[in-house]
A and B are shown apart, each in its own frame.
Chain A
Amino acid sequence: MTQMNMIQALNSAMDVMMARDPGVVLMGEDVGYFGGVFRATEGLQRKYGEHRVLDSPIAEGGIVATAIGMAINGLRPVAEIQFADYIYPAYDQIVSELARIRYRSGGDFCAPVTIRTPCGGGIRGGQTHSQSPEALFAHVAGLKVVIPSNPYDAKGLLIASIEEDDPVIFLEPKRLYNGPFDGDPNKPAVGWNSHPRGDVPEGHYRVELGVAEIARPGTKLTIISYGTMVHVCLAAAEKAGVDAEVIDLRSIVPLDVETIANSVKKTGRCIVVHEATRFAGFGAEISSTIQEECFWHLEAPVLRVAGWDTPYPHAFEWEYFPVQARVVAAIKATMEAS
């Protein structure tokens, strides 16, 4: 085991996979010589050469399209889109092409592309460096969607994603790159070195897609989340003094319905928390699944805590971001409902 932050864990995952499989290639803006604007690919071009770690033009549509072509020709490309906010020029290639190549060809072709992209707020990035677009991908049949919340999972999930024969959108909550973040911007930043999930094996291991983790066991209320908000939910549960069970979905497609349903059947109460805008957000899918699976066990309506239905404003980072207080209010409302 080695202490790693999330960037180092992601770097290690790519390093491990490039060493094991000569078909793994990396591409993206600034990823090669420079090592990525967040340093996720640092040292990999030096180690594996400029034909396997390709600096690309600033053309997200081109990056994804050529990654698809490489994958069809037997490679396993890992494409980086510098910010999730910049992925939209590639949306047609992702939605109309990447997601459906297996289906439309009757299973004869497939494109095992992994698209890594930093997402989420909490870094004063304004409306073009803070978005959480997971629902836009989860809604598309044929894409798997992964969002890790800690270095250990990040590495294991990225390895599993690269080994996956289907395309994976791998969203990296950038606020978590250097340390866990519990939603309180006034507290000094902490690193991953004091966190148990900052212990990361150096070699190959997988964290399977579609398997949620119970981040905190509890009996009175289920809190379902992923990414940065897992840490906010853990802190909010402590603050509310409620014996809550916090579930970290880790991947939202495939969705671990069994873990969700077992927990909600046990607690009878549930809130769903994400950073992305609330309306038609992924919380709606979870909430709807819960009423289908657990309706007769529910003792209170399932509540959603989310970002407001506005673009992400630069000046109001902490009024927009679902801070602990917003989660605590939902916990209390759910516990008081009868």
Chain B
Amino acid sequence: MMRSRLHVPRPPARPGEKPDFSYVAVSPAGAAARPDPNAPLSETEFLSKEMVRVLDDNHRAVGPWNPHLAASDLELGLRHMVLTRAFDDRMHRAQRSGKITFYMKSTGEEAVSIAANMALKPSDMMFPAYRNQGLQIARGRKIVDLMCQLLSNTKDMCKGRQLPVMYHSVEGNLFSISGNLATQFPQAVGWAMAAAIKGEDHVCATWLGDGSTAEADFHYALLFAQIYKAPVILNVINNQWAISTFQTFAGGEGRSFASRGPGYGMPGIRVDGNDFLAVYAVTQWAAERARTGAGPTLIELVTYRAAPHSTSDDPSRYRPKDEEKSWPLGDPVERLKGHLRALGEWSDEREKTMLKECEELVNQAWKEAVTYGTLTDGPQLDPETMFQDVFKEQTPALARQRMQLAQELKERAQK
């Protein structure tokens, strides 16, 4: 008798086992064709199966997706990535020494944010996820402002209300990050629909992780985006791991996340997320589609979460140590450096200078940020601000609670 039996996905390697990334289908650089951004779905469907790659093993930019960026732009992108990494390392240490309560690094996946930003206009809107700090940095948010948010101090743009890393910037067109997963995805579609309703040519871009595609919000986003052909770029950062949950538990087994796009009627592009040029190129392609009224694009950025999920996580419990060293798509920072070197636009000297500048910038910013207070020292936010912004106008009931707290704090201080 035949019996049904559940299939329970497993990652290819667990702690103590040899890393195995043979499941990652990698196309040769330059191999994937570049259809016209306005081509019908039947002519773009192959992009959800192949992998758009531009940088080859000799660090050359090859193929039809080569965006032919100027060396100065490449160097700027590299600088943003190096700065992001320096910022991440310093803030991780700050959490370890108890200065901030929580942190999430983006190590190994810097290109997905920074190259995408470069392909968009500053007037385009972004609904980031919590590991997109590269967007904040590439959009010129000051490091010290980001640190003030992490410290919940007197200059925190969230007024002490959010966990660290949940930044936002009105002037930077960066929407407030939510700790809940995938909620931003359909909101970004709504923003884009509004841009179209208002007759503007702004595009909206949003990001989530492979794990979050399991949430219903992801599917709402694709459905609404395609029905209304909203000018939106929907990015799935497939970094293989959602805390301990391997990407196969979100449906990545035997089928790419990009293939969800054609399922809903829109192009899905699978791209090497550690290839700065490829990420730039596909984002530019998707932005052109959006801006010319052709509708949404789903982009799957294949990368690897080299860092723990957060400072509360211990990946050695569920995946091999140093697994990232075997990752077939390498490191985005090293690969872009290699390309600049191949172009004759890079040297050890310039590398040393850039690293030093970024580290100094981060250290200086930290020194300044703590002068605005930490959770334990220095200037403190007034606790009564807790009652602001629940509503536009403080209700009488909240005003009473505010006064009650003020009295309570006075009594607590006397004891």
Contact = CB atoms under 8 A, between A and B. Distances in A.
Contact of B162 (A51, A54, A126): A126
A33 B8 CA distance: 11
B179 A57 contact: no
Contacts of A60: 215
Contact of B179 (A59, A85, A325): A85
Interface of B: 6, 8, 14, 101-102, 152, 156, 158-164, 166, 178-181, 211-212, 214-217, 242-245, 249-251, 312-313, 317-318, 375, 381, 383, 386-387, 390, 397-398, 401, 405, 408-409, 411-412, 415
Contacts of B318: 33-34
Contacts of B249: 55-58
A34 B317 contact: yes
B390 A309 contact: yes
Contact of B383 (A30, A129, A278, A319): A319
A127 B164 CA distance: 11
Contact of A34 (B8, B162, B244, B405): B244
A205 interface: no
A129 to B, nearest CB: 7
A308 B394 CA distance: 13
Contacts, number: 128
A217 to B, nearest CB: 28
Contact of A57 (B214, B375, B387): B214
Interface in A60-98: 60-62, 85-86, 88-89
A62 B14 CA distance: 26
Interface stretch (A109-117, A165-173, A222-230, A310-318): A310-318
A51 B9 CA distance: 11
B244 to A, nearest CB: 4
Interface in A116-132: 124-129
Contacts of B159: 315
Given A86-B181, A128-B178, 8 more contacts: A33-B14, A33-B244, A37-B313, A58-B245, A126-B162, A315-B156, A315-B159, A325-B408
Contact of B390 (A86, A311, A323): A311
Given A56-B249, A128-B180, A316 B383 contact: yes
A329 B408 contact: yes
Contacts of A181: none
Contacts of B161: 126-127, 311, 313-315
Interface string A238-262: 0000000000000000000000000
A310 B398 contact: yes
